[in-house]
Amino acid sequence: MREKIIYFFFIANMLFFSCQRNQSFIHEFTDGSWNYYSPVKFTFNIQDTTSAYSSYLFFRNNINYEYQNIYFLIETIHLGKRINLDTVQYVIADKFGRWEGRGMGQTKDNYFILNEDVVYNKGDYDIIIKHGMRKDLLIGTNKLGFKITKHD
């Protein structure tokens, strides 16, 4: 019975999101850590090639995070071919250690603009994200998200 319920919600989400102008994805890290050798992959589909899109990253960290910034190594793949490889840095704490993100308590949510007004070709895209920090195991990471929105 439980499998049927999960299957129903999976299908309902697929139908709901396939008709939407926005596509959002969240990856939750196990044990609050992110290994450099465990990239996060998000897949999205573009059907409308006449509209521009903007993409955003979401990063949730906790107080165990050791750095005031984060580097993301982002690879974009379309039809099995790499079309972009980029390194981006975002500041998540000031020089005094105060968190820049939203939230109370031990977790902070950070929202970043990745790209604005990009026109994509039709088809499936993979966004593969690794962290680019000094240590292979990044402690204090809770979630990573990706969102793509279509403009009118």
Q: What is the pLDDT of residues 50-101, one digit of tens each?
A: 999 999 999 999 999 999 999 999 999 999 999 999 999 999 999 998 999 9
In this prediction, residue 152 carries a pLDDT of 77
Identify the bridge partners of residue 62 per DSSP, sorted by sequence position.
107
Residue 123: count other Cβ atoms within 10 Å of its Cβ: 11
In this prediction, residue 11 carries a pLDDT of 53
Checking if the pLDDT of 12 tops 60, the result is: no
In this prediction, residue 17 carries a pLDDT of 46
Output the six-digit token pair for 73.
């190594």
Q: How far out from the chain centre does Cα 29 lie?
A: 12
Tens digits of residue pLDDT in 22-47: 999 999 999 999 999 999 999 999 99
Contacts of 132 (CB under 8 A, 6+ apart): 71, 72, 73, 87
In this prediction, residue 18 carries a pLDDT of 46
Tens digits of residue pLDDT in 46-58: 999 999 999 999 9
What pTM value is reported for the model? 0.83
For the chain, strand residue ranges (E) read: 22-28, 33-35, 40-46, 53-62, 69-78, 81-91, 107-118, 123-131, 137-139, 141-150
3-class DSSP state for residue 91? strand
Percent of the chain past pLDDT 70, that is, above it, reads 87
Look at residues 122, 114, 135 and name the one whose alpha carbon lies nearest to residue 59.
114
